[in-house]
Amino acid sequence: MPPPSTADTPVSAGTLRSPGVAAGSAGQHQVLGAAVPSLVVDRDAVALVKDRVARQVTDFRKASPMVGVDTVEQRARNWINEAVAEWSDAAAAERGVSPTAAEDAALRRAVFDELFRAGRLQQHLDNPQVENVFINGHDEVWLDLAGGQRVRAERVADSEEELRELLRRLASGDGGQSERTLTTASPMLALRLADGSRLQAVTEVSPRTYVTIRRHRVQDADLEEMMRLGMVSPTLSAFLSACVKAEKNVLIAGPQAAGKTSLMRAMLKEIGPDERFATIETEFELYAHKNGFHRQVVPMEARESNGERGPDGRLIGEITLMDLMYRALRMSLSRIVVGEVRGPEIVAMLQAMTNGQGGNLCTLHASDPGVVFDRIAELYLLAQGNMSEQLAYRQAANGLDFIVFVRMLDESKIGGQRHRFVSHVLEVTGVGEYGRPATNAIFTPGEEFGEVRAVPRMPPSCLADLRRVGFQDHLLNGAYDSWAGQPLSLKVATA
C-alpha cells in the first residue's frame, strides 16, 4: 500500500457545492427547440474528489511500479467510492437532506472519467444514440443523433487550453498509436479513441480548437444485423455472403457516413474463422482481430511521422497504407482488406486483385455509382510515376468483380429519419467501350414500384461460382419481394 499522504484528507462540504440533478436548461441538451434531460455534476465536486484520488493513484503507482492498469483502476474506484461517500455525508449535514443515489453515482462516474477516460466527453461516447460529436471551441458542443437530430450539448472543457489538454491526454493513450500529439508545431491530430471512434482535431491554424468525432455505433454486426437495420434485404444478404465465400473482389463505395465500414464489418463475418487475412487501415475501425470470431487476422495500421524529414525527403517514422500493402503481399495471406482507399494505395490494392488473389475487400468514397471508376482514376494519378487514367481503368476492369454502392437518404430536416441502404450492386465484366470498365447491373433501385433500395435485376456472369458456395439463384427472380414487399417509408418520394 502507498504511504499516507494528504490525499487522505476528508472531503468536506464546506468547500464544495452539491452536484445536484438540474431540471433547467443548464442540465439539458437542446434538440431542435426541445430538451433532453441529463444529469449535471458540480465541477467543483469533481475537481476536489479527482484531486484527492489522483494523489492516491500517483502514490500507489510509485509504490507498485509493476502493477497493471486494471489493478490501478480498481483501486481508484475504491478510493473514489470512499471520497464520494464522505462528501455525501458532509453535503447531507450542510443542506439537511442527503444527496440522491443518482447524484452520488454521477459524481463517481464523472471522477473516474476524468482520471481514466475522456472526461466530460465520455458521456457522449457512451451514448448509443450519438453518431457524431462536433466541438467548435471549448464552450460549443453539438451531437448528431441516430434519428437525424442535431443536439446542442454542454461544454466538455472550461477553456481552450483545457480542451487541448484533454486532446493531448487522449492522444497519449490512444491504443498504441505513436507519434501523435497536438502542439503549435503539429496543430492537427487524428487518432482512434478507446471505443473505436475516430477523432480529428485542428487548432492554432483556426481561431478556436475544432474537433470532429465519428462514432461507430455498429461495431460487431453481421449480415443478419444489417438486415435488421435495413441496410440489406434477405436477398442482398445471401448474395453478398456468397460473393465473400466465393472469393470475389468487392469494392464498397458510397458517400461519407453512409455505412460502408459497418457493411464491410458484417461481410467480414462471412470469412471463415481460421482463414488468414490482413486488415490495413489508417486507424483501426474494422476490428476483425477483436471480434471474437476470426482467429487468423493480421491487423496493420498506418503511422504518422514525427514531423521531421530524413535526407531522402521522406517524413521520419511515417508508415503509409501503401507501405503496408506491399508488406502484406509478401505474407502469404488469403485476402487483403483495406478499410478505406483514399490515395496511392489503390494501385497496390488493384495489383493484388489482378495478380489472381481473390476475396479482397475495400471501401471508397464516391457520390454516385457512376463516378466510382473516375474516383479510382483520380487516386491512380496521385501515385504519379507512370500511372495513367487508362491504366487505372484497365486494372479496375481486370481486378474488381463487384461494386456495392451504399446510399444515405437524410430526411431529418423535414421531420423524417436517416435511411442507409445498399442501392446498387454492379458486376465488373472487363474492359468496355473507350477503355472504361464494363458492368452489369445486378441490383438497382426498383423505381418503377417506388423502391429506392437495391432489387435484383439479372444474374451475374459468375453465377456458377456463387452456386458452388451455396447461393440459391432463384432469389434473384423476385424483385419487389426482396424487401418483403414493403417500399422504404419516405416523406418525399424519389422520382
Task: Pick from 171-175, 370-374, 483-487 the range whose average pLDDT is largest.
Answer: 370-374
Q: What is the pLDDT of residue 283?
A: 80
Q: Would you state the pLDDT for residue 13?
A: 44
* 44 has a pLDDT exceeding 90: no
Domain count of the chain? 3
* Domain membership flag for residue 493: no
- Is residue 182 located within the same domain as residue 228? no
pLDDT for the residue 27: 43
Higher per-residue pLDDT: 274 or 22: 274
Q: What is the CA radius of gyration of the chain?
A: 26
- Residue 492 counted as domain residue: no
- Same domain for 127 and 164? yes
Exposure on the CB side of residue 395, measured as CA atoms within 13 A: 20
User: Does residue 489 fall inside a structural domain?
Assistant: no
Contact between 449 and 466 under an 8 Å Cβ cutoff? The reply is: no
Residue closest to 260 by CA, chosen among 340, 180, 373: 340
pLDDT tens by residue, 409-457: 988 888 888 899 999 999 999 999 889 999 999 999 988 888 899 999 9
Q: Residue 274: its pLDDT value, please?
A: 95
- Of 15-29, 56-70, 115-129, the least confident: 15-29
pLDDT at residue 181 tops 80: no
Please give the average per-residue pLDDT across 148-162, as a whole number: 90
Confidence of residue 400 (pLDDT cuts 50, 70, 90): very high
Q: Is residue 491 part of a domain?
A: no
Q: Which residues pair with 77 in a beta bridge?
A: none
* Whether residues 4 and 100 fall in one domain: yes
More confident residue, 430 or 11: 430
Tell me whether residue 495 is in a domain.
no
Query: Is 390 within the bounds of a domain?
Result: yes
Rounded to 5°, angle at Cα 182 from 156 and 114: 35
Per cent of the chain over pLDDT 90 is: 52
- Mean of pLDDT values over 302-324: 76
CB atoms within 10 A of CB 57: 20
Specify the residue for cell string 493531448: 168
Identify whether residues 265 and 303 lie together within a single domain.
yes
Examine the domain organization and report whether 293 and 180 are in the same domain.
Answer: no
Question: Are 109 and 161 members of one domain?
Answer: no
Query: CA 263, 264, 266 angle in degrees (round to 5)?
Result: 65
Answer with the one of 217, 244, 273 that is the final residue of a domain. Answer: 217
Q: Are 321 and 338 in contact (CB under 8 A)?
A: yes
Query: What residue numbers bound the domain in which 103 lies?
Result: 1-116
More confident residue, 284 or 59: 59
CATH code of the domain covering residue 180: 3.30.450.370
Tell me the CATH number at 292. 3.40.50.300
Bridge partners, residue 440, by sequence: 427
Question: What is the 3-state secondary structure of the chain?
Answer: CCCCCHHHCCCCHHHCCCCCCCCCHHHEEEECCEEEECCCCCHHHHHHHHHHHHHHHHHHHHHCCCCCHHHHHHHHHHHHHHHHHHHHHHHHHHHCCCCCHHHHHHHHHHHHHHHHCCHHHHHHHCCCCEEEEEEECCCCEEEEECCCCEEEECCCCCCHHHHHHHHHHHHHCCCCCCCCCCCCCCCEEEEECCCCCEEEEECCCCCCCEEEEECCCCCCCCHHHHHHHCCCCHHHHHHHHHHHHCCCCEEEEECCCCCHHHHHHHHHCCCCCCCCEEEEECCCCCCHHHCCCCCCEEEEECECCCCCECCCCCECCCECHHHHHHHHCCCCCCEEEECCCCCCHHHHHHHHHHCCCCCCEEEEECCCHHHHHHHHHHHHHHCCCCCCHHHHHHHHHHHCCEEEEEEEEECHHHCCCEEEEEEEEEEEEEECHHHCEEEEEEEEECHHHCCCCEEECCCCCCHHHHHCCCCCHHHHHCCHHHHCCCCCCCCCCCC
Q: What is the pLDDT of residue 79?
A: 95
**Position with higher pLDDT, 183 vs 377:** 377
In a domain, residue 347? The reply is yes
Average pLDDT over residues 212-229: 86
Whether pLDDT at 12 is above 50: no
Distance of alpha carbon 406 from alpha carbon 304, whole angstroms: 30
Question: What is the model's pLDDT at position 317?
Answer: 76
In terms of Cα–Cα distance, which of 9, 15, 13, 17 is closest to 55? 9
Using CA atoms, how far residue 2 sits from 8, 57, 441, 488, in Å, is 11, 9, 69, 62
pLDDT, average across residues 384-391: 83
253 plus 313 within the same structural domain: yes
Residues 11 and 144 in one domain: no
More confident residue, 148 or 9: 148
Q: How far apart are CA 212 and CA 202, in angstroms?
A: 9
Interaxial angle between packed helices 345-354 and 372-382, expressed in degrees from 0 to 180 and rounded to the nearest 10: 110
Q: With 50 as the cut, is the pLDDT of residue 480 above it?
A: yes
Phi-psi region of 359 (alpha: psi -120 to 50; beta: other; left: phi over 0): left
The per-residue pLDDT of the chain, averaged, comes to 85
The predicted pLDDT at position 29 comes to: 47
Order of all β-strands in the sheet with 335-338 = 297-301, 277-281, 335-338, 361-365, 250-254, 402-410, 418-431, 437-445, 454-456
Beta carbons of 193 and 176 less than 8 angstroms apart? no
Amino acid at 272: G
Domain end, chosen from 171, 186, 217, is at 217
Alpha carbon distance 81, 111 (integer Å): 10
pLDDT band with cut points at 50, 70 and 90 for residue 218: low
In a shared domain, residues 375 and 250? yes
| 460 to 198, 254, 467: CA distances (angstroms) | 36, 21, 11
* Residue-wise pLDDT tens digits, 343-368: 888 888 888 888 777 899 999 999 99
Q: Would you say residue 115 has pLDDT above 50?
A: yes
Question: 135 and 112 share a domain?
Answer: no
Q: Are residues 245 and 349 in the same domain?
A: yes
What span, in angstroms and rounded, lies between the C-alpha atoms of 362 and 392? 16
- pLDDT of amino acid 495: 55
Please check whether residue 490 lies inside any domain of the structure: no
- Which amino acid would we find at residue 421? F
How high is the pLDDT of residue 427?
98
Could you tell me if 259 and 199 lie in one domain? no
User: Is the model's pLDDT at 483 over the cut of 50?
Assistant: yes
What angle do helix axes 260-268 and 234-245 make, rounded to 10 degrees? 60
pLDDT at 107 > cutoff 90: yes
* Domain end marker among 217, 235, 257: 217
